C-alpha cells in the first residue's frame, strides 16, 4: 500500500480532488490531501493545510487573503509547495503525487513536482496539457494529461477522465521495476542523429566494461535533463560527445540547453570527456523559420521541419573559447578529444558542411584557451569512425580510474 499525495487548490477544485482521492483509496492506497488554495475556504478537508504551505514560503497568508490578490497567492503557493512536498518525499511519507488544475493550479503543482526526483510518479491533469508543456515539465518526468473540459465540477466526461487519472497514478506507483543492472555504475552520454554511430559504438564498449549507459538527445531539453541527472550524483562519468546545444545557445537556434550546459560535471568533479560533436550546426525549424539575417548562410535541409545552418569560422572560434572555459572550470578530471576529419556525418570531407577553416578555428581556440594539464587527444578521422569511439571510451575509463571513489 502506497501513500499518494493529492495536491491542489482545494478552495476552487476541492470536489474534484476529493473524488480522485476516493478512487485512489478504493484501489487500496492511502491519500494525503494537500491544500494550495488561498482565497476561499477549502471544499474538502485537507491533511496538510494551506497555512503550512504559506509558512514554507515565508508569507503571511492572512495578509494575502485580505488583499484578495490571486496573483500573489499563486506566487506564494508556488514557492511553498515545492518545499513541503520535497520534505514529505524525503521523509518517506509519500510515494506518488497527482494534481488537477487550470492555469494557476498547474503552475503551483508542477513547481512542486519539479522538486521531486526523477522516477517518483507524478501526474498533472491540466487544462494546459495540450499546449506547450515545457515550462511546466522542465527536465523532470511529469506526466501531463489533458483535462479536456475545465476542472470545474463533476460531469459524465470529467468523471471518466479523472477516474482514468486516478487509475494511472495507482498504476505508476504499483509498477514493479524488473531487477537488472541497477547496481552498475552509470555513464551519461549526449547524442544527435549525426553522432549516433559514435555513441552507439561507445555504449557497447562501456556496457561490456560493466557500466550502464544513459543516452540523452542533445535537443535542448535533453541536455538540460542530462545536466540535472549529473547534479543528482547518479553519474560516475560523462561522455559528452555531442556539445551541439552550445551552437544553438550562441547563435540563436531552437535547441539551446541554456548557458549552464556542461557545468554539472565540472562543478561536481565528475570525470568527463568533451568532444565538439555537431558544433558545425545550428538548428531551426522549417526553412521559413530561419531569421532573415542568416539568408546568405550555408544550409542543410534535414527534413521538412528541421533546417540546419553551418556555423562559420567566427562562431566556431567563440564556441572553442566557451568550451575551453567549461573545461577549465572542472574540479575533476576532464579530457578533450578532437576528430580532425569532421564533427558530424555531414561535415566529413565531401559532405555539405565540410569547412576546414571553420573547424580549425574551433579546434584552435579550444586548445589555445585550455588551462595547462587538460589532455587534448586529436584523432585523424571523423567523429563517427569506430576508432574514435574506442579512444573516447579508453580515455573516459582512464579518467574514472584516477578518482579514488571509482577505482
CA 79 from centre of chain: 21
Domains of the chain plus CATH, in order, are 3-174 (3.40.50.12020), 186-406 (3.40.50.12030)
Helix, strand, or coil here: 245? helix
DSSP state of 362: H
pLDDT along the chain (407 residues), means of 10: 97 96 98 95 96 95 86 94 98 98 95 95 96 90 95 93 98 86 86 96 97 95 93 94 98 97 96 98 96 96 93 98 98 98 96 97 98 97 98 98 78
Listed in sequence order, the residues at least 6 apart from 96 whose beta carbon sits closer than 8 Å to its beta carbon are 2, 4, 5, 120, 121, 122, 123, 169, 172, 173
Residue with cell 554539472: 264
Q: What is the dihedral of CA 106, 234, 181, 93, to 10 degrees?
A: -50
Edge-to-edge order in the sheet of strand 299-303: 281-284, 306-310, 299-303
Phi and psi torsions of 26, nearest 5°: -65, -20
**pTM (two decimals):** 0.78
Q: What is the pLDDT of residues 196-230, one digit of tens each?
A: 999 999 999 999 999 999 999 999 999 999 999 99
State the pLDDT at residue 182.
63
The answer to whether the CB of 309 falls within 8 A of the CB of 281 is yes
Edge-to-edge order in the sheet of strand 186-191: 212-217, 186-191, 235-240, 272-274, 334-339, 376-379
User: Would you say the C-alpha torsion 5, 233, 141, 2 has a positive or negative sign?
Assistant: negative
Taking each helix axis as running N to C, give the angle between helix 50-57 and helix 70-90, from 0 to 180 degrees, rounded to the nearest 10.
90
State the pLDDT at residue 216.
96
> In sequence order, which ranges of 37-194 are alpha helices (DSSP H)?
50-57, 61-67, 70-90, 103-114, 134-137, 156-174
69 burial via Cβ count (<10 Å: 0-12, 13-18, 19+):
middle
Residue with cell 572553442: 320
State the pLDDT at residue 180.
61
For residue 191 the three cell numbers come to 547524442
Phi and psi torsions of 237, nearest 5°: -155, 160
DSSP state of 96: E
State the pLDDT at residue 323.
98
For residue 27 the three cell numbers come to 484501489
The phi-psi region of residue 258 (left if phi > 0; otherwise alpha if psi is between -120 and 50; otherwise beta) is left
Amino acid at each position: 500500500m502506497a501513500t499518494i499525495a493529492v495536491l491542489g487548490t482545494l478552495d476552487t477544485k476541492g470536489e474534484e480532488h476529493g473524488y480522485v482521492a476516493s478512487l485512489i483509496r478504493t484501489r487500496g492506497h492511502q491519500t494525503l490531501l494537500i491544500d494550495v488554495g488561498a482565497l476561499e475556504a477549502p471544499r474538502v478537508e485537507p491533511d496538510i493545510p494551506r497555512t503550512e504551505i504559506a509558512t514554507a514560503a515565508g508569507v503571511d497568508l492572512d495578509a494575502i487573503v485580505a488583499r484578495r490578490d490571486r496573483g500573489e497567492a499563486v506566487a506564494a503557493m508556488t514557492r511553498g509547495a515545492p518545499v513541503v512536498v520535497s520534505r514529505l518525499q524525503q521523509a518517506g511519507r509519500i510515494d506518488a503525487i497527482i494534481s488537477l488544475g487550470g492555469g494557476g493550479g498547474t503552475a503551483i503543482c508542477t513547481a512542486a513536482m519539479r522538486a521531486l526526483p526523477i522516477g517518483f510518479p507524478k501526474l498533472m491533469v491540466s487544462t494546459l496539457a495540450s499546449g506547450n508543456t515545457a515550462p511546466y515539465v522542465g527536465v523532470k518526468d511529469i506526466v501531463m494529461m489533458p483535462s479536456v473540459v475545465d476542472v470545474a465540477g463533476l460531469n459524465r466526461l470529467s468523471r471518466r477522465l479523472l477516474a482514468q487519472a486516478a487509475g494511472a497514478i495507482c498504476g505508476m506507483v504499483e509498477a514493479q521495476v524488473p531487477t537488472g543492472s541497477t547496481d552498475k555504475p552509470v555513464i551519461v552520454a549526449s547524442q544527435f542523429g549525426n553522432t549516433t554511430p559514435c555513441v552507439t559504438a561507445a555504449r557497447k564498449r562501456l556496457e561490456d566494461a560493466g557500466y550502464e549507459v544513459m543516452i540523452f538527445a542533445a535537443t535542448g531539453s535533453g541536455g538540460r535533463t542530462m545536466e540535472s541527472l549529473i547534479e543528482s550524483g547518479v553519474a560516475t562519468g560523462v561522455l559528452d560527445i555531442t556539445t551541439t546545444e552550445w551552437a544553438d545557445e550562441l547563435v540563436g537556434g531552437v535547441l539551446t540547453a541554456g548557458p549552464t550546459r556542461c557545468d554539472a560535471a565540472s562543478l561536481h568533479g565528475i570525470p568527463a570527456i568533451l568532444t565538439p560533436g555537431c558544433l558545425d550546426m545550428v538548428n531551426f525549424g522549417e526553412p521559413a523559420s530561419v531569421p532573415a539575417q542568416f539568408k546568405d548562410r550555408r544550409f542543410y535541409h534535414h527534413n521538412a521541419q528541421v533546417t540546419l545552418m553551418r556555423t562559420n569560422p567566427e562562431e566556431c572560434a567563440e564556441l572553442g573559447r566557451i568550451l575551453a572555459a567549461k573545461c577549465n572550470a572542472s574540479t575533476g578530471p576532464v579530457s578533450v578529444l578532437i576528430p580532425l576529419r569532421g564533427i558530424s556525418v555531414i561535415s566529413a570531407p565531401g559532405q555539405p558542411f565540410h569547412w576546414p577553416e571553420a573547424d580549425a578555428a574551433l579546434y584552435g581556440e579550444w586548445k589555445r584557451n585550455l588551462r595547462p594539464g587538460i589532455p587534448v587527444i586529436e584523432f585523424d578521422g571523423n567523429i563517427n569512425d569506430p576508432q574514435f569511439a574506442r579512444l573516447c571510451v579508453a580515455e573516459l575509463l582512464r579518467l574514472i580510474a584516477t578518482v579514488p571513489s571509482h577505482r
